[in-house]
Structure 1
Amino acid sequence: MNCFMQQLNKNDRSLYDGQYLICCDQTDCFRIPIQTILYLESKNYMVEVHTIDTIYSIRITLKELENLLVSKDFFRVHISYLVNLHHIIHTSKSEIELDNGDKIKISRTHKNDFYQAFRTFIHGSPISVPHVPIG
């Protein structure tokens, strides 16, 4: 674990090295292969990283992880959820289903952008996330 800790700067809590998401807290570090991440869920000042095998809880904002993972076909479908588009097997008007059977609601705010991004993903083009001005 010490080698992971050394990779991260003192103020960093998460790092993306191209194939792995490396997340650390006060005592533990996790090296999570990106392709195994199904979705990320924000809960009570923590983010749960749902993978094929397990769920990791880390203290970081979903926005920080979104900034790291948007280039790897992850998309924000709800204020509390960031989803790996590679694991979606079904979409409806208001929710998506992942290949592990989990269902996630799509918020009205993110619905149009999600469907546009998902269509682009299906057709093999890179995803372009629209810029939303703050304030």
Structure 2
Amino acid sequence: MPRLLCLVACAVLLAGCSTNPFGTGSSSLGDYSAEGKASYYGKRHHGKKTASGERFNQNALTAAHRSLPFGTRVQVTNLNNDKTVVVRINDRGPYARGRIIDVSRQAAEQLGMLRAGVVPVRVQSLD
């Protein structure tokens, strides 16, 4: 009986891990879509190693996401102005509460968010 209770408890815990805590939408890569807030990072991090091991380049179209695999290409849409950009995930983050993606300065410029700093976005996987 204790063994059965242990198995049931493990199943319940694992079921809780299957939800996507980083925005709304599907958690499978092929159809990942989430809405939330985006911020950007640039000069202060330029040249430092990212979680993927490559050097951060503020002029490249890259981004940090908490869970998408490195190399995943996503389309980010600024919901304030409908501007979009395609970025490649090469880092982990953001670590600020309520944000779902950090984009490079170049991506932020294309999204028209440099002045605001933080904007509502939709993130959709392309891979």
Check whether TM > 0.5: no
Q: Give the structure-2-normalised TM-score.
A: 0.28
Q: Judging by fraction of residues, say which structure has more strand.
A: 1
Larger radius of gyration: 2
Which structure has greater helix proportion?
A: 1
TM-score by length of 1: 0.27
More RCO (CA 8 Å, sep 6+): 2
